[in-house]
Amino acid sequence: MRWFPIFLDLRNRRVVVVGGGGIAERKIDLLLEAKPNLTVIAPSLTARLRARVDAGEITHEPREFQATDLDGARLVLAATDAPLVNRAVAEAAEVRGIPANIVDNAELSTGILPAIVDRSPLIIAIGTEGSAPALARYVRARIEALLDESLGALAGFLARWRARIKTAVTDLDTRRRLYDRLIHGEVADLIKRAREPEADEALAALLANTGKEGSTPGVVQIVGAGPGDPGLLTLNALRALQGADVVLHDRLVSPEILRLIRREAEVIEVGKSAGRHSVTQDEIHALLLAHATRGRRVVRLKGGDPFVFGRGGEEAEFLKSHQIAFEIVPGVTAALACGAYAGIPLTHREHSASLRLLTAHSAAAIDAVDWQGLSDQRETLAIYMAVATLERLQRELMARGRSKDTPIAFIENGSRPNQRVVLGTLASAHRVANEHRVQSPALLIVGSVTSLAPQLHWFGSAPR
């Protein structure tokens, strides 16, 4: 980080702008929101700036810049088309220790005016170290669309109550959970509807009950993390990660997604893999119950979708039996994401009329499969956790009518930067997997749709 973000109090402070053209005009419009004593140094002004002078909003010195113009200034901005003038401003500011923004010249600048989302008193500043202002504007537009205008009023409301909340709720963890409820619950909704007196009553009632037994019941969110690419997280999943007190995550959740978890959250790996169970399912249930009964917001984070071979249903049943509130946040399951990222459509008019999802992580899972029903050559099979039992899986499919020439694809680390796609046939599947050392997490797709991978490949290394 070269540029350290900071907010300056410019109210009634001296701010100098050198230049009176269109660029200076736009920067002055922004600066005046902070109510400074603003002086413009320029031989001439635009009509709009002249109108601001006439209205008493800014002061104008109709002449060339002098170094002494910066005496007593808190901030200076140079917006001229004269490089020598801009450099003189930068040098005079450096001598006086004043932050200087030289428009379109990051090397001369010691301060940058960011793109701003204004929900006063909530202010969001976006910067790109001066390298890509268009990108900063794009990000600002996205944030503008996401954040409701009522957040400013909510920020003011919380500021008014801050001292009383701090006095009433001394425990930091309890206080943070209270703020979470305020921001996401009834109080925020009342502020959004401009019903502040009722919001005051609702918050007073919350404070009266905070700390009492059962006053802050916990909740468990069973969240699908998708196959690895953080861009495939749903908005609800991201919100859950950023509001969690504790996160219990599977082994295969990617590091990029784990980095999105709120920094203050407790993060616990409860991953399982074939042949190695670091935490049993009963132990996971016990952890969910223990944290939820303490009033914590718990996220159970699972790779893919929690209801597709993720045992999310079992965990929901357990929570229901113990009267723990829960929510299900679906994720992009591996078959959908891996197929898409490998350029393999799972259904196609010329290749496949249907899709079946299977798991083959153990001998018991293989025994439970209706093999006779898998002989249809026009059905795509997406087989999860197939590597460990691949030899038997291959043998059973061919014995029940699948052609040995059926195209197949292994997709290892689907949607991640190290994704690999290995192609073969049903007869060669076991040999190909060994030759390329295919390892978990890997999805096996069986069907003629896999023959489209070389043509439709778009992500990561080319299929092998």
Residues 365, 369, 375, 376: what is their CA dihedral angle, to the nearest 10 degrees? -100
Catalytic machinery residues: 250, 272
Residue with tokens 């952890």: 287
Instruction: Show the beta-strand stretches assigned E in 235-324.
Output: 246-249, 266-269, 272-273, 276-277, 297-302
74, 83, 65, 75: which is closest to 18 by C-alpha? 65
For residue 366, count other CB atoms closer than 10 A to its CB: 17
- Six-digit token string for 166: 């701090």
Report angle CA 253, 231, 379 to the nearest 5 degrees: 75
How many angstroms separate the CA atoms of 272 and 455, rounded?
Answer: 36
| In contact, 360 and 386? CB cutoff 8 Å | yes
Q: Are strands 407-412 and 420-425 parallel, antiparallel or unpaired?
A: antiparallel
Q: How far is CA 248 from the centre of its chain?
A: 18
Report angle CA 224, 226, 227 to the nearest 5 degrees: 140
How many angstroms separate the CA atoms of 344 and 336, rounded?
Answer: 9
How many angstroms separate the CA atoms of 49 and 55, rounded?
Answer: 10
Estimate the share of the chain in helix, then strand, then coil, as percent rounded to the nearest 5. Answer: 40, 20, 40
401, 400, 422: which is closest to 411 by C-alpha? 422
In which element (H, E) is residue 408 found? strand 407-412
| In contact, 303 and 227? CB cutoff 8 Å | yes
Helix (H, G, I), strand (E, B) or coil at 106: coil
Phi, psi of 138 (to 5 degrees): -60, -45
Phi, psi of 57 (to 5 degrees): -80, -30
Residues 80, 84, 88, 89: what is their CA dihedral angle, to the nearest 10 degrees? 10
